[in-house]
Structure 1
Amino acid sequence: MKLRIRYVFSFLLVIFALSAQSQIKIGEWREHLPYQKAKRLLVGGENLYCLTESGLFSYSLNDNEIAAYSKTKGLSESEISAIGWEESSQSLLVAYASGNLDVISDEGIQNISDIKNFSLIENKSINSMTANGNFVYLGTDFGIVVINLDKMEVADTYFIGAGGEKLVVNDIKINSSAIWAATDQGIFKADLFSGNLADFNNWEQEQGISEYQRKCEHLQFIDGDVIVSRLVSETASELYRYRNGSWSNFSGSLDRIYSIRNINNSLWVIQAGKIRIFNSNGIENEVLEYSGITEMHDALVVDGRTFAADYQKSLQEIIGSRANQIKPDGPLSRNISNIFSAAEQTWAVAGGVTASYDGSAEKAELFLFKNQEWTNYSKENTPSFSNKSDLLRLTNNKRDQSLIYAASWGDGIFVFKDNEYQVNWNFENSPLGTKGISGMDSDSDGNLWILDANSSAPVKILSPVGEWTSLSYSTLANRADMQKIVCLKNGDKWVLNSPGQALFAFNENGTLSNTDDDALASFFVRDENNSSIGSKVYDLIEDEKRNVWLGTSSGVAVYSNPGNIFRTGNFFAYQPIITIDGSTQFLLGTESVNAIALNGADQKWLGTANSGVFLISENGDEQLVHFTNENSPLPSNTIQRISVNPGTGEVFFVTDKGMVSYKGAVTAGTESYNNLYVYPNPVRETYHGDVVVSGLIAESTVKITDISGNLVMEGKSGGGQFIWDGKNFNGSRVHTGVYLIFCSNSDGSKSKVIKLLFIH
């Protein structure tokens, strides 16, 4: 089959350099990926490339600059499966689990997508690649695909199994006479000059190895010999050598081999905790072990410098007995279980629970994004995290926002103040049980309300002065499936249980020590006709107008009268109606809505299970934005969590394949104009983006005039920002000069004027 290039991204749009995170502009994206789990190294040009479980980055061997490669910077996808280098064209090849392929050079990013789009093959992952002249041979889940880099097209496809059977090809090597393939069914070889390699009859399986049909993972050439690494079990491998037409065992059984390399005509065998160095006769000359490197998956020597890819600690340069870590900024995990933003900070945690409500054993780690960079809290710098796991919930104290609470499944609640660890509340020093914390929220008085799983007193309250109270509600007692608690502005508390279960609401009536006078209600989501809305509820949130929004298996449900929960009658939900392309329908009525978040204008971000993310208007009657993994850098259409940073407007999307963020145009409104500013200022003649007035009181009136008082633009801010395109009412770019920006709140009681220099 002949596959041709489909599209080319302008290289000018791809800014890979990432020596430090910088502020992104409105409408721009950035990734927040972990780069810990390094598994493959590659030298290309003046760079060392490191492929990790979650992404790809390069390290300049000359100036030590680190650059990350991702969808936000122009790559086609996020699930990278292999990388390669073609020397003559100085091209980096990035392959994906879908079969997609990007070729990156000085000419830009060129994409060949036809393997991905070939519908007759189901599993199309590209596992390895090797260059031979201007051709690149791809080892895939179905065979070998040959790419002609001169023409940027697929030149041929080889199904090399018996009878043309599809085989998983794990590695390919080419010498002067033959092409060798390590497959899941052993070693296959073909003469390069035999003619039609697409004819499976020209391929033969090497049968000189005992149990020759076992999975082979790696190939290497040493002194004209062929060395193959074969998998014996999940924890063991062995090496075989092909010399003078016959095979022999090269090593005996070894611990699992992750890579083999020819370095200075010696065979480097990379295992988790060591490198074994053999000469071409199979004699082990040296064993290298490095303190702190325990899960090595690859290693290289470049100009006398030794680098290792460690699956726990990313790229490491080994200098003597020391190992220096090299990686881009990012959180330590992509398994983000919860995310929370406040006061221009965003916190995230990693963890999970199984279907039987056991912990997933994800290490206890907390991640803080502040001032454009990540600070990671782990057992290395937070000893209380040692031997702890599965942080699941996050919130702050509404009265003292410097207090952050991170709750775990089995290890209590960790408290941070001013970004410093304070205390771990657990079963030893508090009434908390041992199962886990399934929900937390703070009320306006600073009380922390906690859902304590599998407890006879499932609701715990921690007061601002450190006093504990336990509440017993039979509906919640001894349950492990509670999911979330939300403290409403009217004092009611709503509890979300596992999808399909009834919601629960209560109000303690101001008497924490007496539950006899508490108001209680269990309910399913129904409309005014008593018809069910969505059989499952996944998220709930209260908006600025005190409406309660629910994400359900049938779209969105809204309670405009949540205060009636404990009254007879007049308590029901409704589904917002929206018109899209002339069709009137329930808002996302056919979608499962996993996550809901508010921006500073009370607009709603809705994350779905299969269709990406939507931004809708305040009342839910207008779709403003729809992002998918096809039209945006979202790594997946499965959205699990959303958090909006109120101070910056940056929206964080947690997907099943990692986290990215998008700079929204709306921030939260302020209480005064003390921090009012406009950027950029001055506006240069070369700048054609938006001018942003920030630090506004919500729903401010903004008027922009020239120095003579002529009005050129006016409008209202949705939240704390006003966006101006630099044009007047006629749509023309304004002239050079000083402009005055008049800002006032809705009743005119507060106002401020700032100046802007605009160069036409």
Structure 2
Amino acid sequence: MTIFIRMRKLSILLATLLLVFVTASATPTDGWTLFPAYHNCIFNQPAADRVYALYDGNLLSYSPADSEVRQLTKLTGLSDKSVSLMGYSTTQRCLVLVYANANIDLLFDNGHIVNIPQLKTGSDGTAALNALNVSGDWAALATSTGVVVIDLKKREVKGSYVLGTNCRAAAIFNGAIFAARNRALTYCLLSDNPSDATRWQTARSETALQLMPFAGRLFYSSAAGLYALKGSPAAGNLTVSQLSASVFTSFYADAQKAVFANASEVDVCEATNPDHLSSYAASASWKQVSRANNGTFWVTTSDGQLQAYKLSGSAFQAVETSIGGYGPKRDLCYYMSYVGPRLLVAGGRLDPYDRVHYPATLMTYENSRWSSFQESGVATQTGVVYRDITSVIQDPADASHHFATSTTGLYEFRNQQFSKYYSNDNAALQSAVPDGNKRYIRLDGLSYDKQGNLWMVNNQVDTVLRVLLADGSWAKVYSPSLRMAPTLERTLIDGNNNLWVASRRTVSNHVSGLLCLNFNSTPANLSDDVERYRSTALNEDGTRVDLQSVYALAQDRSGWLWVGTASGVFVVEKPADWFKENFTITQVKVPRNDGTNYADYLLANVPVSSVAVDGANRKWLGTYGSGLYLVSPDGTKILAHFTAAQTPLLSDNIYSLAVNSETGEVMIGTDAGLCSYQGKATRPYEKLDEQQVKVYPNPVRPDYHGNVTITGLTENSEVKVMTTGGQVVASGQSLGGSFVWNACNQNGQRVATGVYYILVVTADADSGIVAKVAVI
């Protein structure tokens, strides 16, 4: 009966309504997007008709012929993330890529990729990767413990030779492996037994900095200059001649020329006359120089630019615009949050030992465009080092107004330009050291309360809670539970206007846990404050559970508070009960569904580092070491599990999560950079309005094989996709404010070309709309 009533209403609506469909890009909605940073070029390598460049581990290729730029990532077939070293084999016509984790890819000119995982799987990760030289069919990798030889023709690791000392560089020359070690250039024949350290001989008793075979010689640099070694290692008749007293830091060679460069000069020699160098003046900013087959010199500069030059007489002239400047500024994304369609990203974090620091990374992403806040000149204006941005927040009353915390104080921005610096000189902020040094004003955890007061945590001081009041004055809120606490990061203002503070680190004078403060909406009045701090709690079964090392906080659409800890994830179903003596915390159980009544605790003992809630009230749970989980609204079902090994997820170590409520896109911040997964749930609307409903892509073209997404719906709307003849090809309920159709009929076959009606009715059958989508 219900279905009949709804369909009768839809019949009337169908005759009277016509929804104008929205055309969008034909990118599959149920997929991955990677956001590598291409701003700081550190190395370039010409290969065939392209130039490859590394930007802090991210690979990009550029075609000078048509100015085409390609981002090369796991989505395009690479096996891993974070390339450390690369070189090109002209005989095998492949680019050799060595990743930071010792994985190896061979990227051939035709686009084919071959993975060589032996070194990664056999490595304990302790050896540093120092240098790579590719010559002919061989690649030699110098590490902090020895040399790895790769046979490119056989596409395998020939051997990994532990020499017991650091190797600065390595190369294959005239049938022998050469290794640049401390105060010794040594070699061993490939046909000998390089695994036996006694088989290695010394060619020169000096420290070589670079090694490169070219034109029957092995070129190397030392503190005394540039040298060429020639002869037969097997015969032992090696001779050395010095070509220059200059110390070169950049070596490059192709079949015709070799290029040597430093900050003042670029020297070039021909394969037909390798003992003669032609010298040209270089810029002090030049860091690395290579040469393409067409004679173009490609220069990597100290400020991260990639620029092409031509030799004009005896001088270099720039011939093309610099390559790069794409994507986010850096692969740093420890903190993220959405404000409407705008993503806010802060890249730094608090290092409790003050040993690791991060560039001042503060970014937004909106309408497919990345933008960075001012960095240059901030330290000059404040007189304090500008780094380690730990959190960022947008003024709820002014979208152009932002605040950011750091390890050196609070920074205010207007229109992404630095506006004001707050420290212990002009605000109620405090340094963690007795002398008041501003370098130790360790702030984090920005949150606005309902009255527009800005809360933050001031780590490692007596009174850690500080508030910039809406009137511009300051308040300090003393919490005995948090006195002198370190590494307080996340805060949250819940629906009751209470403040939650997560403590992630236990030290001698503080046990980590979770605080809730009811400040009665009067942060300047401490007399009416009530707080409760817990490091343990009883779960629903009466078992005491550990709430130490709290990493993440999120309140869902039902008002439940989800808490990510080192021990797993917990739920405070009634936040107001936190203050009660008989409080119990929920440790969600996932039924085994194996015919028994047994269940397992959700992610028990899995460190849950981040929590985000999507439009359907489902939970996205990021972890340290186990990737990303999607669970049902109550957590009793694991709907999906994403790992770096099985998906394009960049890393299994998740720092932060944020969901775009309008599109369903889940932004995932990892220790290897930023990526996203296109979820299927968006924010539901209160009322069904044809002006807010969108269908995309529309039309659905023959080469598109992804989903059709309908957004702007109310929660639990009933949706039917029908032919013009009234045949139902798909039906279901909206997920949050979205419905996803795979453009197939109920038998799983792609539908025929034509126009399809999308009939939508609210859950109470009170209203409905009709949309159209064209399949061509």
| TM-score, shorter chain, exceeding 0.5 | yes
Q: Summarize the alignment of residues 65-80 of structure 1 with structure 2, pairs less than 5 Å apart.
A: 65-80=68-83
Confirm whether residue 503 of structure 1 aligns to residue 514 of structure 2: yes
Q: Summarize the alignment of residues 108-147 of structure 1 with structure 2, pairs less than 5 Å apart.
A: 108-118=112-122, 123=127, 127-132=131-136, 135-139=137-141, 141=143, 142-147=146-151
Confirm whether residue 218 of structure 1 aligns to residue 210 of structure 2: yes
Query: Partner of 1:678: helix, strand, or coil?
Result: strand
578, 581, 584: which one pairs with 1:565? 578
Report if the CA contact (8 A) 1:441-1:486 is conserved.
yes
Letter in 2 for 1:44: A
Q: Report what 1:696 is aligned to.
A: 713
Report if the CA contact (8 A) 1:338-1:392 is conserved.
yes
Q: Report what 2:636 is aligned to.
A: 621
Query: Partner of 1:85: helix, strand, or coil?
Result: strand
Query: Partner of 1:303: helix, strand, or coil?
Result: coil
334, 344, 348: which one pairs with 1:337? 334
Confirm whether residue 718 of structure 1 aligns to residue 735 of structure 2: yes
Report if the CA contact (8 A) 2:194-2:200 is conserved.
no
575, 586, 591: which one pairs with 1:574? 586
Confirm whether residue 521 of structure 1 aligns to residue 536 of structure 2: no
Unaligned runs of 5+ in 2: 1-24, 232-237, 311-315, 431-437, 507-511
Report if the CA contact (8 A) 1:95-1:102 is conserved.
yes
752, 757, 775: which one pairs with 1:740? 757
| Structure 1 residue 709: Cα displacement | 4.2
TM-score by length of 2: 0.82
455, 459, 480: which one pairs with 1:453? 459
| Structure 1 residue 366: Cα displacement | 1.5
Question: CA 1:490–1:508 in 2, change beyond 3 Å: closer, same or farther?
Answer: same
Distance 2:128 2:463 in 1: 52
Distance 2:195 2:524 in 1: 81
CA deviation profile, 1:690-713 (whole Å, cap 9, x unmatched): 111012233333233333444443
Q: Report what 1:261 is aligned to.
A: 252
Q: Report what 1:489 is aligned to.
A: 495
Query: Partner of 2:132: helix, strand, or coil?
Result: strand
Letter in 2 for 1:305: T
Question: CA 1:110–1:155 in 2, change beyond 3 Å: closer, same or farther?
Answer: closer
Q: Report what 1:16 is aligned to.
A: none
Question: CA 1:478–1:413 in 2, change beyond 3 Å: closer, same or farther?
Answer: farther
Confirm whether residue 83 of structure 1 aligns to residue 81 of structure 2: no
RMSD: 3.6
Distance 1:482 1:158 in 2: 45
Q: Which moved more, 1:493-502 or 1:111-120?
A: 111-120
Distance 1:395 1:171 in 2: 49
Q: Report what 1:313 is aligned to.
A: 304
| Structure 1 residue 63: Cα displacement | 1.7
Report if the CA contact (8 A) 1:412-1:436 is conserved.
no
Query: Partner of 2:545: helix, strand, or coil?
Result: coil
Question: CA 1:468–1:706 in 2, change beyond 3 Å: closer, same or farther?
Answer: farther
Higher relative contact order (CA 8 A, sep 6+): 2
379, 389, 410: which one pairs with 2:387? 389
| Structure 1 residue 148: Cα displacement | 4.8
Q: Which moved more, 1:741-750 or 1:636-645?
A: 741-750
Instruction: Work out the number of aligned pairs and report it.
Output: 710
Report if the CA contact (8 A) 1:179-1:190 is conserved.
yes
Report if the CA contact (8 A) 2:228-2:240 is conserved.
yes
Distance 2:673 2:193 in 1: 40
278, 282, 293: which one pairs with 1:288? 282
Distance 1:447 1:24 in 2: 41
Confirm whether residue 25 of structure 1 aligns to residue 24 of structure 2: no
CA deviation profile, 1:271-322 (whole Å, cap 9, x unmatched): 4x444538777989444124xx37x244446634332223541423358677
CA deviation profile, 1:386-413 (whole Å, cap 9, x unmatched): 9421111123344555544322221313
Letter in 1 for 2:328: P
| Structure 1 residue 188: Cα displacement | 3.3
Confirm whether residue 587 of structure 1 aligns to residue 602 of structure 2: yes
Distance 2:682 2:565 in 1: 27
Confirm whether residue 727 of structure 1 aligns to residue 744 of structure 2: yes
Question: CA 1:72–1:454 in 2, change beyond 3 Å: closer, same or farther?
Answer: same
Letter in 1 for 2:251: I
Query: Partner of 1:509: helix, strand, or coil?
Result: coil
Unaligned runs of 5+ in 1: 1-21
Letter in 2 for 1:410: T
Distance 2:549 2:197 in 1: 56
Query: Partner of 2:755: helix, strand, or coil?
Result: strand
Report if the CA contact (8 A) 2:33-2:677 is conserved.
yes
Report if the CA contact (8 A) 2:486-2:505 is conserved.
no
Distance 2:398 2:157 in 1: 64
CA deviation profile, 1:710-738 (whole Å, cap 9, x unmatched): 44433221222110122344544444443
Query: Partner of 1:565: helix, strand, or coil?
Result: helix
Q: Report what 1:3 is aligned to.
A: none
| Structure 1 residue 436: Cα displacement | 2.7
Q: Report what 2:234 is aligned to.
A: none
Distance 2:84 2:322 in 1: 23
Question: CA 1:167–1:403 in 2, change beyond 3 Å: closer, same or farther?
Answer: closer
Question: CA 1:143–1:751 in 2, change beyond 3 Å: closer, same or farther?
Answer: same
Distance 2:123 2:523 in 1: 62
Q: Summarize the alignment of residues 55-454 of structure 1 with structure 2, pairs less than 5 Å apart.
A: 55-105=58-108, 106=110, 108-118=112-122, 123=127, 127-132=131-136, 135-139=137-141, 141=143, 142-149=146-153, 152-154=154-156, 156-157=158-159, 159=161, 168=167, 170-174=169-173, 177-179=174-176, 181-184=178-181, 186-189=184-187, 204-209=200-205, 212=206, 214=207, 216-220=208-212, 225-230=217-222, 239-242=226-229, 245-247=238-240, 254=247, 258-261=249-252, 268-271=259-262, 273-277=263-267, 285-290=279-284, 293=285, 296-300=287-291, 303-310=294-301, 312-318=303-309, 324-327=321-324, 329-356=326-353, 358=354, 360-380=356-376, 387-398=385-396, 403-416=401-414, 423-433=420-430, 434=438, 435-454=441-460
Q: Report what 1:512 is aligned to.
A: 523
Q: Report what 1:12 is aligned to.
A: none
Query: Partner of 2:120: helix, strand, or coil?
Result: helix
Letter in 2 for 1:362: Y
Q: Report what 1:556 is aligned to.
A: 569
Q: Report what 1:649 is aligned to.
A: 664
| Structure 1 residue 517: Cα displacement | 1.2
| Structure 1 residue 751: Cα displacement | 3.6
Distance 1:99 1:622 in 2: 37
TM-score by length of 1: 0.83
Q: Report what 1:475 is aligned to.
A: 481
Distance 2:162 2:628 in 1: 43
Q: Report what 1:544 is aligned to.
A: 557
Identity of aligned residues (%): 24
Question: CA 1:283–1:742 in 2, change beyond 3 Å: closer, same or farther?
Answer: closer
Distance 2:358 2:503 in 1: 23
Question: CA 1:429–1:675 in 2, change beyond 3 Å: closer, same or farther?
Answer: farther
